[in-house]
Structure 1
């Protein structure tokens, strides 16, 4: 592809899932990558796979400013600067709702999913100013725009990420720094298992199950893959997207186009559900009425 040739990217949460695919896609597109994560074994294997002249792994807890700063220092020392920051690290957040709010869990979720995006973007500014501009990409979620897909704390943080991206895009435009948010839908990653408290190995196995079974949930007919999100991120980091900033980009297989009955003709819909009539019964009634009109 070569669309990212000459560019250096920082990707957080890079040792698995969407971030790992991001490293693959960015490298294929010609970028040098600094990969930040807490999973040292996987991260080091990632560096060995591509070679230290292309990918550098750095242990990084994005809730710790000093560790986050190390990503930028490594990018400048190893590759000469920073052109792209993809704030991707995250987890499912505290599962409790409003009534049973876990305040410590709330704070930890905000620190990881929202505050880290502020901090990462702040750290990126001086490095990108040196390059004459850059691209910040933030992973939000479809839970930012509708209920029912994630716990409330996670969803509120992801809404904050999306709106932050718009506000930061306005503020940083004077430096030719673009800021955009990606809103993934149902993507086959280990985040679902991790949210249930499963081990990393079990969570990875659950991701494979999600990939096999999740296609029925969306008009696209298949489960989203990490590469679907990584491809969008690579595009937003490239010069082809230089006119795009402050955007919220859905990559969700159509999950948010409307309720299931709007795209699945076998689904009865809320009215028929309320009447206790199946889609097949409704069709039989319709055919009977048409036959009666024709007699």
Structure 2
């Protein structure tokens, strides 16, 4: 990605090296939690919480990563690009875009949504409007999930920013209310899938709009994001963990769905085209 002349975000909170490391938990524990979830019906995040043994976290703030901290500088620049692009999109609709914070941590950290663990992957907490990421996830993305490349990493972060956009627009609250009203776990999961696929679409919108203005993408990089979306589809992850997929337990969408909705945003650059809820109603 061509980011050498782009600014870094000031909304970085660096907690790395401040304690709170997980003892005995790695990204592979996600697969164990998935298996346990299917067998017991317990939320995999809850199971991960039970598996964790953490020390108190010392929170250390740093607005700008050191120049030689290349991965941290990279995510800081990607966050800045999302700030600019979504700021313009909101302003065009007469709305204010409130920028999220990006928290860098190692192992585990406290959040307004409970304890956050590296084994959960990057995540967004709507209660404090912060995105949390252990940067070691990018090594897992490359080595375990075979989805290398800067734009693959940017897609992951842009997806979490997409959840922040949903939060600002009130979409997340509506989906959570629908999940509470759901008559079955499968129905609640289906609502979660729609929320995640819309975030994928928003990631595509960001990429299209930013590249149209600043030409930050290099040849072949769109394929990196598609590879990442494919690698972290629910069916792909479940087949790796269990040997088979259970569609009614999907919470993020299949690989095919994730790729399709990312492409929809990338091809149109229009947030309105990401209204999966209206699209689903029309297809019924």
Asked if Structure 1 and Structure 2 have the same fold, meaning a TM-score greater than 0.5 normalized by the shorter chain, the answer is no
TM range (shorter): under 0.3
TM-score (norm 1): 0.27
Structure with a larger share of its residues in helix = 2
TM-score (norm 2): 0.28
Structure with a larger share of its residues in strand = 1
In our comparison, the structure showing a higher alpha carbon Rg is 1
Higher RCO (CA 8 Å, separation ≥ 6 residues)? 2
